[in-house]
Amino acid sequence: MELLNNIPPAFLLIIGAIALLALPATARKVGAIALAALGFFVITQLSEGTRGNPEFLGHTLEMLRVDSTSKAFGYIFTISAFGAFIFSWSERCRLQNTAALVYIGSALGVVFAGDMITWYLFWEMMAVSSTFLVLARNTEASRLAAQRYILVHLAGGLVLLAGILMAVNSTGSIAFTLENIHQNSTAKWLILIGILINAAAVPFSSWLPDAYPESTVFGGIVLSAYTTKTAVYTLVRGFPGEEILIPIGCVMTLYGIVYALLENDMRRILAYSIVNQIGFMVCGVGVGTPLAIAGVVAHAFCHIIYKALLWMSIGAVLHRTGKSKCTELGGLYKSMPITTMMTIIGALSISAVPLTCGFISKTLITAATEQQHHLWAWFALEVASAGVFVYACIPFYTFFNVDRGLRPKEAPRAMITGMALMAFLCIYLGLNPGHLYGILPHGEVLAEKASFYYTYIKSFDKVVTVLQMLLFSALMFFILLPLLKRTSTISIDFDWFYRKGAKLFYDAMDKTFNSLNKAAERLVIKTLLPAIAQFVIVAPATLTVMLLRPVWRESLDADEKSLKKREEELIARFSSGTFPVAYSAIFVLIFIGLLVLLGRAAG
Amino acid sequence: MTTKKKATRKKAPANKADAKATPAQDNPHLSPRFWKIMLILCGTTVLLELFVHRHPHFVIEKGEPATLPDMSDSVLATMSNWFGFYGVYGLLACVGSVLLAKGLSVFLKTGKDYYDGTP
């Protein structure tokens, strides 16, 4: 037990991932599920405090900082991994399993990191390993998406690294604490931007809906949980009460809704819904009160559960039909009834309908904005809570709407097991808020709220108002459905700036510098240089001719014709640079004479 | 209880679509039964609101620090305490989002091959 208490869970998963490579397929799958379960068990056994201090580059690292915040994230990261590995039983891919385990392990590494070097190393490992989950789809589109994905994350990582280096430089300490990050204001902003890129905050949001939908079925489930949530975790650690996060979070929630309305691909709608939900968390971090922070951690916890459930069920549909577009799906409820039920539970949870886990977590964040009298933030989050009903279009377009004659088999048993686990957690936590509230940071502010009685009976007015808002929004949604005809198009997002913008920039640079280059070539190489070459030949020749002409005329008494001939001879000698010895001797004499004269004049 | 109701409500349109069996039809048909259930549910929540005591928003209550910004003269803060506020707000939020999306689609929607053929 003592040994387990000192091993960072990250190592368990990463070393396990490498060890599993040597095993045959079935053992590898069992091993991955067992590793996730073992990781969960180890985290339950971790006692609070800071441990695991190897020396690195003259600093002492803190690989294990255990408190209620890191433990809460650790629990949900391993639970989600457990569900995802069960779900992926029927998919065979060695690369995917290994990449996922390293990715999840690195996410755990970030969550338990007590210093900024450990944090940064695991952060970059996450970026690299997750790229393989996009690549594993093995299509041209996924290869290009993975390329853009890794470029964005490497750029974000560099911004973060610059911030960390500045912070370490100005404080002399590598500790990952609030004080250290806020010491130097440039460092603080760089770190914040680095984190916000991973949190898919507007305007750095487009990498997420660009890359996640191109991943494999399993890849989508895993990706949806870790990168953005570790970013939320680091925000909770480093930036509680940072006011700029409130408007950023509100914009993210609305952005997620509007783009989801425009989108046709189910998996892309799910990707936008991640941005929407992260918006609630970012806003909550900005509010920063104990209630808000508890709400953020609770919402991250629940969000991972129902988002995994939704990615699983749409993944199951993709697995069975090979389709994921609204315009290609419909009427599947008869052939996939269990998947339909699971998707509906997921959609109800994301809409925060009472009795689901979304209700007990999202309401904490809105309550915190209200408690702090952030009027505009409260109104924006309520719009987002009502508008979140657009995600109900996921089950609607997939399983109902119009029957397109698709008659696939029900999802494989392993997939149903994975979905059932997540769906169970959605309802279970919704009915027993105390079980979630008990593991949150600042649990003391929730002590009163942590019961079914308080949440649903004593606060019945809250239940009624939330239902009223959702139902009226739903009513309107169905009335306006004809307006929302899904089209087989794509929507321009912020990635325009690096996908089209980069090309425009390249073209502009190409036009400017290459035409400058051409003009310079015309002017210097083709005109100026020959002119100079001509000048250095002709000028001394003409000068000499001018000097010699009177001498020749007097001394040789020559006629015009022979003079002309001598001149031509001389010019020819100048241009070929060949002179008889006599000429050379005379020129040397003249040159020495000039030098002497100049020397006299100067001396 | 709520979960079950929502589930049946969603099934309604599908039954109708299935009965008509129009696979090429893209406009979903929602049955009268679906609309009836929807309206009954909406009406129930409004009726229930009559019988519950709603905790007012943005009012400095006992035990809260008085340093919070005072919202007593804010129209929006007052409105949020009116009867039926949530229903109207949910309705407007949905209409607003849809119209915003519709408006933006003019500028943002583009062909599948916009980025050299890769989505």
pLDDT digits (tens, 9 = 90+) for A37-86: 999 999 998 888 887 677 777 788 888 899 999 999 999 999 999 999 99
Q: Is the dihedral of CA B54, B59, B61, B63 positive or negative?
A: positive
Which chain B residues touch A378 with a CB distance below 8 Å?
A: 57, 80
Which chain B residues touch A462 with a CB distance below 8 Å?
A: 55
| Closest Cβ opposite residue B97 in set A371, A387, A462 | A387
The answer to whether the Cβ–Cβ distance between A489 and B118 falls below 8 Å is: no
The answer to whether the Cβ–Cβ distance between B115 and A345 falls below 8 Å is: no
Mutate: best of B52, B79, B88, B91, partner A, most A CBs <10 A? B91
In sequence order, which ranges of A439-495 are alpha helices (DSSP H)?
452, 460-479
pLDDT at A62: 86
Give the C-alpha separation, A88 to A379, whole Å: 40
Q: What number is the average pLDDT over the span A554-572?
A: 80
- Shortest Cα–Cα distance, A482 to chain B (Å): 7
Query: Which of these, A345, A221, A32, A141, lies nearest to B2 by C-alpha position?
Result: A345
Q: Are A136 and A96 in contact (CB under 8 A)?
A: yes
Other beta carbons within 10 angstroms of residue A155's beta carbon come to 15
* Torsions phi, psi for A22 (to 5 deg): -80, -10
Which chain A residues touch B41 with a CB distance below 8 Å?
A: 471
pLDDT in tens, A471-518: 999 999 888 888 877 777 788 888 888 888 888 888 999 999 999 999
- Shortest Cα–Cα distance, B87 to chain A (Å): 5
pLDDT in tens, A320-352: 999 888 888 888 988 999 999 999 999 999 999
Q: Are A82 and A70 in contact (CB under 8 A)?
A: no
Query: Which of these, A108, A232, A211, lies nearest to A152 by C-alpha position?
Result: A211
User: Across A250-371, where does the E strand assignment appear?
Assistant: none
Give the C-alpha separation, B40 to A83, whole Å: 38
Give the C-alpha separation, A501 to A458, whole Å: 54
Give the C-alpha separation, B39 to B19, whole Å: 23
The structural domains of chain A, with segments of one domain joined by +, span 1-234, 243-481, 501-602
pLDDT at B15: 44
- Shortest Cα–Cα distance, B63 to chain A (Å): 12
Q: What number is the average pLDDT over the span A391-405?
A: 84
* Torsions phi, psi for A265 (to 5 deg): -85, 125
Which chain B residues touch A464 with a CB distance below 8 Å?
A: 45, 48-49, 52
Mutate: best of A258, A396, A399, partner B, most B CBs <10 A? A258
pLDDT at A161: 96
Q: What percent of chain A has pLDDT over 90?
A: 58
Which chain B residues touch A403 with a CB distance below 8 Å?
A: 14, 17-18, 21-23
Confidence of residue B29 (pLDDT cuts 50, 70, 90): low
Mutate: best of B47, B71, B76, B86, partner A, most A CBs <10 A? B86
The answer to whether the Cβ–Cβ distance between B3 and A356 falls below 8 Å is: yes
Q: Can the peptide bond before residue A203 be classed as cis, meaning omega within 30 degrees of 0?
A: yes
Q: Would you say residue A102 has pLDDT above 80?
A: yes
The answer to whether the Cβ–Cβ distance between A404 and B23 falls below 8 Å is: yes
Residue A259, strand partner residues: none
Q: Pull the structure tokens for residue A87.
A: 């779900």
Residue with tokens 């299935």: B18
The answer to whether the Cβ–Cβ distance between B3 and A480 falls below 8 Å is: no
Mutate: best of A350, A381, A470, partner B, most B CBs <10 A? A470
The answer to whether the Cβ–Cβ distance between A465 and B49 falls below 8 Å is: yes
The answer to whether the Cβ–Cβ distance between A474 and B89 falls below 8 Å is: no
Q: Which residues contact A35 (CB under 8 A, 6 or more apart)?
A: A12, A13, A16, A17, A20, A101
Which chain B residues touch A342 with a CB distance below 8 Å?
A: none
Q: Pull the structure tokens for residue A422.
A: 């997540």
Q: Which long-range contacts (CB under 8 A, 24 or more apart) does B70-79 make?
A: B71/A373, B71/A375, B74/A375, B76/A375, B76/A379, B77/A375
Q: Are A229 and A300 in contact (CB under 8 A)?
A: yes
The answer to whether the Cβ–Cβ distance between B54 and A254 falls below 8 Å is: no
- Shortest Cα–Cα distance, B44 to chain A (Å): 9
- Shortest Cα–Cα distance, B5 to chain A (Å): 11
Give the C-alpha separation, A258 to A275, whole Å: 11
User: Across A128-261, where does the E strand assignment appear?
Assistant: none
Which chain A residues touch B102 with a CB distance below 8 Å?
A: 483-484
DSSP annotation string for A253-286: HHHHHHHHHH--BHHHHHHHHHHHHHHHHHHHHH
For chain A, the average pLDDT equals 90
Q: Are B94 and A389 in contact (CB under 8 A)?
A: yes
Give the C-alpha separation, A407 to A99, whole Å: 34
Q: Would you say residue A308 has pLDDT above 50?
A: yes
Which chain A residues touch B16 with a CB distance below 8 Å?
A: none
Residue A55, strand partner residues: A60
Helices (H), strands (E): how many in chain A?
Answer: 25, 5
Q: What number is the average pLDDT over the span A136-165?
A: 93
pLDDT in tens, A179-203: 889 988 999 999 999 999 999 998 8
Give the C-alpha separation, A212 to A145, whole Å: 9
Q: Can the peptide bond before residue A24 be classed as cis, meaning omega within 30 degrees of 0?
A: no
- Shortest Cα–Cα distance, B16 to chain A (Å): 9
The answer to whether the Cβ–Cβ distance between A403 and B23 falls below 8 Å is: yes
DSSP A221: H
- Shortest Cα–Cα distance, B41 to chain A (Å): 7
The answer to whether the Cβ–Cβ distance between A402 and B90 falls below 8 Å is: no
Which chain A residues touch B82 with a CB distance below 8 Å?
A: none
Residue of A nearest to B29 (CA): A401
Predicted TM-score of the model (pTM): 0.84
pLDDT in tens, A105-128: 999 999 999 999 999 999 999 999
- Shortest Cα–Cα distance, A166 to chain B (Å): 36
Query: Which of these, A78, A84, A92, A80, lies nearest to A45 by C-alpha position?
Result: A78
- Shortest Cα–Cα distance, B47 to chain A (Å): 10
Confidence of residue A314 (pLDDT cuts 50, 70, 90): very high
| B11 half-sphere exposure, CB direction, 13 A CA radius | 11
Confidence of residue A549 (pLDDT cuts 50, 70, 90): confident
Which chain B residues touch A467 with a CB distance below 8 Å?
A: 2, 45
For chain B, the average pLDDT equals 72
Rg of chain A's alpha carbons, rounded to an integer?
Answer: 36
Which amino acid appears at position A161 of this protein? Answer: L
Q: Pull the structure tokens for residue A420.
A: 């059932």
Residue of A nearest to B19 (CA): A403
pLDDT in tens, A201-252: 988 999 999 999 999 999 999 999 999 999 999 999 999 999 999 999 999 9
* Torsions phi, psi for B98 (to 5 deg): -65, -45
Confidence of residue B66 (pLDDT cuts 50, 70, 90): low
Cα B106 to the center of its chain, rounded Å: 24
Q: Would you say residue B6 has pLDDT above 50?
A: no
Query: Which of these, A288, A222, A220, A210, lies nearest to A249 by C-alpha position?
Result: A288
